């Protein structure tokens, strides 16, 4: 097999893809839990949600981003990450936890979780206007939660998007932030707070699911306009784009929003790109053209496991619901511990099945299932 220059550069970095600390566990068929070497070697399962993944450029390795993380003996409020090889159609069971950047890492590894994004972002507010200071007050915890990642075309780096949030009885994003991650050196750079509203960002600006296409970076936002018994009765999915350059995606004035028949600089003009959307707690979009499925949005519809798969050959329209289903979700979830985070994974999916992860309160863990296209 001929390796391109990007792949050779990554393979030349000690520890990114090769290592001697421990062998990686074999991937397994879905449905199965996504686990790391720390979990499989200790039996100490790590509870966390989110679970965005993206292929590291030029490799068969993917980066996974998780939300608040808890395990027997530790916790991290905010974002943790893991790296590991992947096999299409299989669930990874031997990911290596990423140590807090810029710590050196050797993979595969059985190291415990470490924080990925900077912890306790400053300057956030509670809904009542008090400082979100992490001073021990119940729920007054500033966090940075991931909203997606994507390989930056023509580079060995990855774009990471996230939201700064004050956890206080119904968290609302207060900042949309972008950063660049270099897996070879485990470093973050270019961290930029693109949009800030300490009273709560508009759903049109709580962006994520970055997709690079035809010289642009596209991002998605969503809102539910009504909930009944845990079900979203109707909502909207928004689309933003910006030129695919660092100077553009770091500049709020460069973003444009789909307004129904064209692009507008005013986010208030944004209209839903998906008719009949019902996003209860968010959406996750990706480019699945490598398996012949075009662009895909996975929409979480309720707190009971319901989801919808939308597909289109274009990003600004033509979306069709191709699968409506319910993941097995039980275990007495209550409060904020409900079934959530339905996310599709392009690098794991095949021409037959969408591989989709979700958080199940019964497992207190992230699980991947196969959904027929």
- Residue 21 above 70 pLDDT? no
Burial class (CB in 10 A: 0-12, 13-18, 19+), 286: buried
Q: Does residue 20 surpass a pLDDT of 60?
A: no
pLDDT tens-digit series, residues 34-90: 999 999 999 999 999 999 999 999 999 999 999 999 999 899 999 999 999 999 999
> What pLDDT sits at residue 210?
98
Mean pLDDT on 258-285: 97
Number of domains in the chain: 1
CA 138 to CA 144: how far, in whole Å? Answer: 18
Q: What is the pLDDT of residue 122?
A: 93
Which structural domain range is residue 337 located in?
5-372
- CATH code of the domain containing 294: 2.115.10
Residue 128: per-residue pLDDT: 83
Contacts of 110 (CB under 8 A, 6+ apart): 21, 22, 37, 38, 41, 42, 96
């Amino acid at each position: 097999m001929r390796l391109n220059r990007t792949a050779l550069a990554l393979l030349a970095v000690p520890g990114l893809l090769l290592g001697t600390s421990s062998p990686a566990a074999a991937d397994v068929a879905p449905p199965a839990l996504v686990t790391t070497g720390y979990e499989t070697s200790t039996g100490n399962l790590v509870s966390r949600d989110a679970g965005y993944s993206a292929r590291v450029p030029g490799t068969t390795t993917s980066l996974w981003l998780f939300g608040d993380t808890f395990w027997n003996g530790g916790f991290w409020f905010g974002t943790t990450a893991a790296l590991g090889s992947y096999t299409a159609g299989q669930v990874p069971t031997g990911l290596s936890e990423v140590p807090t950047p810029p710590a050196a890492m050797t993979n595969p590894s059985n190291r415990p979780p470490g924080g990925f994004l900077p912890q306790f972002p400053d300057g956030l507010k509670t809904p009542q206007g008090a400082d979100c200071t992490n001073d021990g007050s119940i729920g007054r915890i500033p966090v940075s939660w991931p909203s997606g990642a994507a390989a930056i075309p023509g580079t060995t780096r990855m774009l990471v998007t996230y939201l700064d949030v004050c956890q206080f009885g119904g968290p609302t994003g207060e900042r949309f932030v972008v950063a660049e991650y270099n897996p070879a050196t485990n470093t973050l750079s270019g961290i930029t707070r693109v949009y800030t509203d300490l009273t709560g960002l508009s759903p049109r600006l709580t962006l994520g699911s970055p997709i690079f296409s035809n010289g642009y970076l596209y991002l998605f936002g969503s809102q539910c306009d009504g909930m009944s018994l845990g079900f979203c009765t109707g909502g909207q999915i928004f689309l933003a784009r910006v030129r695919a350059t660092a100077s553009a995606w770091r500049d709020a004035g460069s973003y444009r929003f789909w307004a129904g028949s064209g692009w507008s600089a005013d986010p208030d003009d944004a209209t839903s790109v998906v008719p009949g959307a019902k996003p209860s707690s968010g959406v996750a979009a990706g480019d699945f053209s490598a398996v012949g499925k075009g662009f895909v949005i996975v929409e979480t519809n309720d707190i009971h496991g319901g989801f919808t798969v939308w597909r289109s050959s274009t990003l600004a329209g033509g979306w069709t619901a191709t699968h409506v289903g319910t993941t097995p979700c039980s275990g007495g979830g209550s409060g904020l511990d409900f079934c959530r985070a339905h996310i599709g994974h392009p690098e794991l999916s095949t021409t037959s099945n969408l591989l989709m992860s979700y958080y199940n309160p019964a497992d207190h863990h992230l699980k991947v299932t196969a959904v027929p296209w």
